[in-house]
Each structure stands twice: as C-alpha cells, then as structure tokens.
Amino acid sequence: MNRANRGMNLTQQVADTLGNAIINGKYGAHNPVPSEAVLCEQLQVSRSAAREAVKSLAAKGLITSRARQGIRVLPESEWNLFDADVLRWMRDSNPSLELLREFTELRVAVEPEAAMLAAQLQDHEKITLIGQALDRMKDAETGLDDPLESDIAFHLSILNASGNRFFMQLGRIIDTTLRVSIRFTNRRTGVNAGVHADHKKIYDAIVDRQPELAAKQASNLMSATLSTILSALEENSSANKA
C-alpha cells in the first residue's frame, strides 16, 4: 500500500488503495476486484479490514459485493461524486478534459449566484476574508504567497460569504475542481497565478453592494475558464480526426 496513506487506519488504507485503483482503471467491468480472501493475501491485511474496506467502497457507489457474485465495479454514473475520498481519487488520477469541463460547468452554475448572494447579504466579517484572500493573490503575483492556495481561498471565501449552507457544503467540491482546473488553465494560458485584477472586479462589486455586477464578473471569470477547456477539447477532437 502507498506510503501516503500511512496516517489512516488499516481499513482506510485498504479502501484508499482499492479506490485509487478503481478510479485509475486498474479494476473495472473486464477486470474485477479480487475477492476479499485474495485481497487479504495481496495486501497482507486481515479479513475484517478487507471486508470493511469493501463495505466502505460500496457505500461510496464504486462497487457492489454479493455472495457468489464477487466484487463488481459499478459504472461511473453510480459513483458518489460528492464523497471526499472519491473526489480526491479523481483529482489525483489525472482527470480527463471531459471531467474538467463538467467540474467547471458546476462552478459556472454556482459561483456567480454565490457572489450575488454575498453582495446582498453583506456579512462584513466574511467579506473581509474575501479581501484577505485577494491580498494573498496579489502577493502571489510577486512570489510572496502560493498562487494555487490563494486562488482557492478567494473562491471558497465567496461561497462562505453567500450565507447559503448548501453552497458552503459545495466548498469541498470547488476546492477539488480548482486544484485540477487551475493547474490546467495556467499551463494552457502560460499564466502561473490567478489574475488578481479579474478577481478584484468580483470583490469590488460585492463590497459596493452590486449583486448583479458581482454575478456578472464571476460569470465572466468562470466562462473564460470553461472556454479554455472547451478549446482544448476541440483541438483534441480535431487531432483525433486527422
């Protein structure tokens, strides 16, 4: 098992190893997960650890396990994409451009509305946190802060400032999305950090109590990211046809 999962208990380590293997395609419809007995032998773990790990993955929608039918990997449509472990495994699996597109479409749907709500609610303590994240982004442009972490902090602070508990709960998904998409878009555009000026437009609209403008500026930013991904998809499609 991977050294990276040593902070987990034994059952979690087994689930982490199998979950990564499933999402990376090692196991699937044509290559089923080994039986619990074989897993015990392969991973050098107890039967109870293997059994509990299998139950955990079944609860996440990755597999089904039945007597005399073995362990079967379920279609991706059955996976619980809101589960923290599933998200992490997908993030670490070099996700496809199609998945990046779907991730970003979620952001396009959610983040402008969150910015609008933040401008309406005017929770000054939470808006201050948006401003602090924006300052971090400015520092990141000169190497004084981490570009990725400051960018993520900005977007998550807007979700938090929306006051909508469901939007706040989406923070984990947005975090995962950003950790994948920011690296890709920065690499694609040749920019190593989120553009401070574009993010400041969102912040200024929130501070100035302009909900519609806040939503518009957020939408512009999300749409630009989605456009970059769609452009890459079109290039790949053209290359495959050539």
Which two structure tokens, joined as six digits, stand for 211? Answer: 């909900």
Which CATH number fits the domain 95-241, given the four candidates 1.20.120.530, 3.60.110.10, 3.40.50.720, 3.40.50.10490? 1.20.120.530
Distance from C-alpha of 54 to C-alpha of 15, rounded to nearest angstrom: 7
> Do residues 32 and 25 lie in contact, with contact meaning Cβ atoms separated by under 8 Å?
no
> Do residues 219 and 226 lie in contact, with contact meaning Cβ atoms separated by under 8 Å?
no
Long-range contacts of 88-96 (CB under 8 A, 24+ apart): 88/176, 89/19, 89/20, 89/22, 89/23, 89/24, 90/23, 90/176, 91/176, 91/179, 91/180, 92/20, 93/20, 93/23, 93/24, 95/180
Which two structure tokens, joined as six digits, stand for 46? Answer: 């107890």
Q: According to the model, what pLDDT value does residue 33 have?
A: 94
Q: How far apart are the first and last CA of the chain?
A: 42
Q: According to the model, what pLDDT value does residue 242 have?
A: 64
User: pTM of the entire structure?
Assistant: 0.84
Q: According to the model, what pLDDT value does residue 191 have?
A: 63
Q: According to the model, what pLDDT value does residue 114 have?
A: 98
Q: According to the model, what pLDDT value does residue 180 have?
A: 82
Q: Do domains 3-78 and 95-241 have the same CATH topology?
A: no
> Do residues 86 and 80 lie in contact, with contact meaning Cβ atoms separated by under 8 Å?
yes
User: What string of pLDDT tens digits covers the 242 residues of the chain?
Assistant: 654 565 789 999 999 999 999 999 999 988 999 999 999 999 999 999 999 999 999 999 999 998 878 899 999 999 998 898 998 899 888 888 898 899 899 999 999 999 999 999 999 999 999 999 999 999 999 999 999 999 999 999 999 999 999 999 999 888 988 888 877 877 777 666 668 999 999 999 999 999 999 999 999 999 998 999 999 999 888 887 76
CATH tag, 3-78:
1.10.10.10
Q: According to the model, what pLDDT value does residue 2 have?
A: 57
Q: According to the model, what pLDDT value does residue 91 have?
A: 86
> Do residues 29 and 14 lie in contact, with contact meaning Cβ atoms separated by under 8 Å?
no
Distance from C-alpha of 186 to C-alpha of 192, rounded to nearest angstrom: 5
* H runs (alpha helix) in 72-208: 84-91, 97-121, 124-140, 147-161, 165-169, 171-189, 196-207
For the chain, give every domain's residue range.
3-78, 95-241
